Structure 1
Amino acid sequence: MMQRGHKGDYLEEPLQKWKEMSSRVAHKLPLFGVEGIKSIRAQKLRHAQAVKLLQGICTELRNIKPDRVLGYRVHQAVIQAVKKGNVEFVTRMIKSIPELVWNGDINDRNIFSIAILNRQEKIFNLLHGLTNVKKMKVTSADDRFGNNMLHLAAMLAPSDQLDGISGAALQMQRELQWFKEVESIVPPICKDVLNSDGKKPSEVFSQQHANLVKEGEKWMKEIATSSSFVAALIVTIMFAAAFTIPGGNNDKGAPIFLDDPLFMVFIISDSISLFSATTSVLMFLGILTSQYAENKFLTRLPTKLIIGLSTLFICIAAMMIAFCAALAILLKKSSTKVVMIPIILLACVPVTLFALLQFPLLVNIFISTYGPGIFDRNIQRWY
C-alpha cells in the first residue's frame, strides 16, 4: 500500500476541496463578497463621471447658441431620457435650454405629455415644480391629433410598464390612478374636448382598456373562487370542532377541561377562526357578484380583496392555534407529550406557506390602494 511521505500530504486533498467549494460559493454570491463591493464602487464611479460629463455639456450649451441640427439632437436626447425616466438628465438639460419644455416632438407633444404616454411618474411629477402660469400653458397644449393630456392618460400604458405590476386588476387600478391624477391638474374643459377622432378622454379610456377590464375581472374571480373554497372548508371544520370539544363533557353536559387555561385558548381561537372564515367567504362572494365597472377597480374591488385575504390568513392562523391547544389539552398528562413540540412546529407550516405565497400579494394590493402612491405634488420650484 502506498504511503504518504509528508504530513502535509494528508491535508492537500481536503484543502483543495475547500478551495473549490469556496470559489463556487463566491461565484454564486457575488454581492456578499469583494466582487460585489467592487461592482457597486464601479457603478458609483461611472455615475459620478456621467454627472461630470453632463455638467460639462450643459455648460457648453449655455455658452453657445445651438443651431438647428444641434438643437434637434439635444431635443431628441431629452425625449429619450423622458421615455426612460431619467430625471437628472432632463432637469439639467432644461435648466441649460429652457425652450426644451415647450418644444414638441413630431406629434407636437411636450416632455410632460410624453411622460404621461410612457407612464414615467418621476418626470410627470416635475410638472408641479413649475409656476402656475407655466403649468397652465403646459397642461393646455394639444398634439397634432387633437389629444390633450387627458386623452394621452386615457391611452393604454406600454406593455413594459404594465408587466411590472402583478395582476390585471392592479394594472387597471394603476391606469385609473394615472387618469384621475392627470384629470385633477388639467383645465376642466379638457374633460369634454373631442380629439380628431371625435372622442372624449373618457371614451378613449373605455375603448383602450376594455380588454384589461375583462382580464382584471377574470383574475379577481379566479382568486375569489379558490380562496372562498378554502374559507368555506374552514368554516365547516371549525363549526364542527366547537361542538366536539377536546375531552368531551361530564354528566352535567359541561366540558371536562373547562377550568384549563388551554381550553379557553382553544375556544377563543376556534371562534376567531370561524368568524374570520365566514367574513372571508362573504367578501369573496361579494367579489364574485360585483359589478366590474372601470371605476370599481380603483378602491372598491381591491378593498374587498384585501379584507378577504386578510381574514383568510387570520382564520388559518387561528385554526392552527386551536389545533395545537386541543392537542396540548389531550397530551398534557400523557407520557407521549414529547411529540407536542414537533407537531406544533408542523402546524406552523400552513401559516408560513400562506404568508409566503399570498402575503406579498396582499401587501402589494394594500400599498397600491391605500399607500402614498407614485405621484408627488410636493416638488420644489426648479424652473
Structure 2
Amino acid sequence: MVPEDLELKTKGNYTSLYYAAQSEIVTIAEEMVKKNKNLPLIPEDDIQVLPLYAAIKTGNRDMVSYLYSVTPIEILASADLIQLLNATISTDLYDVALKILDTLKLAPAEKEYLWFPLKLLARKPSGIGNKSQPSVWERCLNSCVKGWFCNKAMMQASAHQLVDRLLKQLGEDKNFSTLLPQLKPLVVEAAKVGNVEFLIILIRSYPDLIWEVDEEYGTLFHVAIKHRQERVFNLIYEIGVLKDNLASLYAEGNKSMLHLVEELPSSDRLNIVSGAALQMQRELLWFQEIEKIVPKSYVNGPEEQPPRDIFVKTHEKLLKNGEEWMRNTANSCMLVAALIATVVFPTAFTVPGGNNQETGIPMFLETNWFTVFFGSNAIAMLFSSSSILIFLSILTSRYTEKDFLISLPLRLALGLTTLVISIVGMLIAFIAACFLVFKSKKCVPIRIIIVAVPAIPISLFGILHYRLWFDIFLSAFCSKRFLFRSQNRLFNSKPASLALEIMNGNQTGHNDRSPSSINQSCNQSCNSTV
C-alpha cells in the first residue's frame, strides 16, 4: 500500500484513520501516520470528520493524546478549535481542553463563543476540583503509575484551571454589568446541578453575583432550595448576618425561600436517599432550616394557611408512602429476627455432643469452642429479641411528622444493628458447633469450609444492602447535624477582600439597589411578563 492510498475517503468524507481513531488500538493509528504524515489533518475543511475530533468524541484518552501530538491544530480555524474545545469538555478531557485553549487566538468579537464551554462546565458538578493544582504526591504518583490512581484528581484540577482561564478571557476589558446577562444563566445552571466548585470560582471572580436576582429563578440560593442542593445552599452560612437580607428576596411569582421549600422537589432529587420515610425526613430538615433563616414575618405571615400547614398538605402523599415503607421494612426485619430467636432458643438446651447421662453437664463444657458456641448463641438470642421489640415499636408508632424527623430513623438504625449482630452471632455459633462436632478431624480443607461458608451470607447481606444501610445511618445520626453547616470554602482565597466586596455589594449594590428594590424590580418584571 502506498501512502496516498491512506488518503482515500468514503462517501461520508471519512478516512481510514478516522475509523482507527474510534478504536482503542493506538498502534494502528501510529502505523498509519508513519506511512503518511499528512493523514491526521485530512480532511482539513471538515472538523466533524477529523480523526482527532473522532477520538475526542469517543473519550479514549490514549488515542486523543497520540493524535493531538501529531495533529498541527494551530493551523485550524478558530471555529474548529472551539468545536474541539467543546468536545473535550463533554468527554471530560480537561487537560487537552487547556492545551486547545492555549492555541486559541480569538478576536474580541469571537470571545463570545467561550460562553458555551463555560456552560458545559457549569453542568458538571463532579468534574471540577476545589484546587487549581494537584498536590505534589498526586503529580508524582500520576507520573509513576501512568495516572491509574490520581487521574480524577488531575482532571479536576485541570477543570478548575479551565474555568479560571475562561472567565479571565471573557472578563478582559469588560465590567460586571456587561457580563451579567451571560453570568446569570451560568449561576442558575450550576446551582441546579449542585456544582458548588464552579459557583465558588464565579463568586470569587464576581462577588456581586451573591446578590443577583434572576427574574425567573431568584438568587442562587433560591435555585438551590428548589432543587434541594444542600452543598450550594450551605454557602449562605459563610456570609454571616448578611444571609438575612438574602432570605428576604423573592423568586418568580413572589415566592420566598419558604414557599420554595414547601413544594415537592423533582423525583431525581427526592430519590437521592432510599425509602420514602428517609425522603420525608430530609424534606422536614430542609423546611426547618429555611424556617430558621427567613424573617419571622414570613413564618407567621398573613397567608390564609401557615407555611407548615401548606408543607404538610403538599407532602401528604410522601408521608403516607413513608409510613407504608417503614411498616413493610419493620415487618420484614421483625420476621427475620423472630426466625433467629426461634432457632437459637432451643439450641441452648440441645448443645452439640449432648449431656452427661449421670450429671447432665454438657460433654464439651470444658472446651474453648463450647464457650464460643454458648456465648455467641446467647448474643444471637438477646439481640434478636431486642430487634423484635425495636421493630414492634416502629409498627406501633403514631407516624406524625416529628416521628419521621428523629424517632423513626433512629429506631430503624438500631433495629437493623441488633438484627445484624444476631445474625452474626448465630453464624458464629454454627461455626463453633461444627468445630465441636468435627473435633477429631484434623483435615484443613474441612476447617476452611466451616469458616468460609457462613461468611457468604454475611457478605451477601452487606453487598446487597449497603446503600440502604448507609442512607439509614446517615439519616439517623448525621443528617440533622451535618446536612446544613458552613464548609468554609468561599473565603479560602483572599478572605478579607472577598468578604468586604460581598458586604459592599449588600450595602450599596453594584448598581445601587437594595434588596427591597431588587424585589420590587423583580416583581414588576414578572408582572409585565405576565
Deviations 1:18-61 (CA, angstroms, capped at 9, x unpaired): xxxx98xxx9x999996978975666545422320113334544
Deviation at 1:97, TM superposition (A): 5.1
Summarize the Cα distance change of 1:177–1:271 in structure 2 as closer, same or farther, 3 Å threshold: same
Counterpart in 2 of 1:153?
A: 261
Give matches, 1:62-81, under 5 Å: 62=175, 65-66=177-178, 71-81=180-190
What CA deviation, in whole Å up to 9, does each residue of 1:200-254 have, x standing for no partner?
Answer: 2202211121111122122222221111111101101100101111122111222
Aligned match for 2:439, one of 332, 343, 348: 332
Q: CA deviation at 1:321?
A: 0.8
- Which of 420, 427, 441 is the aligned partner of 1:313? 420
| Greater displacement, 148-157 / 239-248 | 148-157
Question: Any idea what SS the aligned residue of 2:430 has?
Answer: helix
Change (3 A) 1:43 1:326: closer
- Superposition TM-score, scaled by structure 2 size: 0.60
For 1:239 and 1:224, the matched residues in 2 are separated by 22
Number of paired residues?
Answer: 351
Shift of 1:346: 0.8
**Residue 296 in 1 paired to residue 397 in 2?**
no
The 2-side partners of 1:348 and 1:249 are apart by 30
- Give 1:281 shift: 1.0
Aligned AA for 1:75?
K
Structure 2 SS opposite 1:214: helix
Q: C-alpha distance in 1, partners of 2:240/2:198?
A: 21
Gaps of 5+ in 1: 1-21
Tell me, in whole angstroms, the C-alpha distance in 1 between the residues paired with 2:386 and 2:453: 26
**3-state secondary structure, aligned to 1:298:** helix
Q: Separation in 2 of the partners of 1:65 and 1:191?
A: 34
Judged with a 3 Å threshold, the aligned counterparts in structure 2 of structure 1 residues 154 and 78 are, in CA distance, closer, same or farther, namely: same
How far apart, in 1, do the equivalents of 2:332 and 2:284 lie?
A: 27
Tell me which residue corresponds to 1:172. 280
Q: 1:232 to 1:140 in 2, by over 3 A?
A: same
Aligned to 1:7: none
Say whether 1:57 aligns with 2:170: yes
| Separation (CA, whole Å) in 1 of partners of 2:443 and 2:243 | 76
TM-fit CA distance, 1:344: 2.6
**Residue 314 of structure 1: CA displacement?**
0.6
Letter in 1 for 2:300: D
Hey, what does 1:193 align to over in structure 2? 301
- Would the aligned equivalents of 1:151 and 1:200 in 2 still touch at CA under 8 Å? no
Residue in structure 1 matched with residue 4 of structure 2 by the alignment = none
Asked whether 1:115 is paired with 2:224, we answer yes
Alpha-carbon contact 1:61-1:96 (below 8 Å) kept: no
Aligned CA distance change for structure 1 residues 44 and 128 (closer, same or farther; 3 Å):
closer
Q: Does residue 274 of the first structure (1) align with residue 384 of the second (2)?
A: no
State the one-letter code of the partner of 1:166: S
Q: CA deviation at 1:288?
A: 1.6
Q: TM-score, normalised by structure 1?
A: 0.81
User: Does the 8 Å CA contact 2:380/2:422 hold for their aligned counterparts?
Assistant: yes
Q: Deviations over 1:70-91 (max 9, x none)?
A: 6434323322332233334434
Q: Which runs of 5+ in 2 are unaligned?
A: 1-23, 26-57, 63-141, 503-530
The AA in structure 2 aligned to 1:264 is T
1:236-255 equivalence runs, <5 A: 236-250=342-356, 251-255=358-362
1:102 is displaced (CA, Å) by 3.5
1:15 aligns with: none
Task: Tell which has more relative contact order, 1 or 2 (C-alpha 8 A, sep 6+).
Answer: 1
SS, match of residue 398 in structure 2: coil
* Higher mean C-alpha displacement, 238-247 vs 323-332: 323-332
- 1:369 counterpart = 2:471: no
Tell me, yes or no, if the aligned pair for 1:87 and 1:122 is still in contact at 8 Å: yes
- CA offset at residue 173 of structure 1? 1.6
The answer to whether the 8 Å contact 1:231/1:277 transfers is yes
Give the direction of change, closer, same or farther, for the CA distance of 1:331–1:337 in structure 2 (3 Å limit).
Answer: farther
Which whole-Å CA distance do the structure 2 matches of 1:336 and 1:96 have between them?
Answer: 71
The Cα offsets for residues 158-191 of structure 1, whole Å up to 9 and x where unpaired, read as 2221122222122112111211222222233322
Paired AA for residue 449 in structure 2: P
For residues 246 and 283 of structure 1, the distance between their equivalents in structure 2, rounded to whole angstroms, comes to 31
1:311 CA drift (Å): 0.9
One-letter amino acid of the structure 2 residue matched with residue 171 of structure 1? Q
1:264 aligned to 337, 359, 371, which one?
A: 371
Which of these residues, 348, 361, 376, is aligned with residue 455 of structure 2?
Answer: 348
Question: What is the deviation of 1:149?
Answer: 1.7
Q: Is the CA contact 1:284–1:308 (under 8 Å) kept in the aligned structure 2?
A: yes
Task: State the match for 2:522 in structure 1.
Answer: none
Deviates more, 1:36-45 or 1:280-289: 36-45
Given that residues 54 and 89 in structure 1 are in contact (C-alpha distance below 8 angstroms), is that contact kept between their aligned partners in structure 2?
no
Amino acid at match of 1:83: K
1:124 aligns with 2:233: yes
Residue 135 (structure 1) aligns with: 243
1:85–1:122 contact (8 Å) kept in structure 2: yes
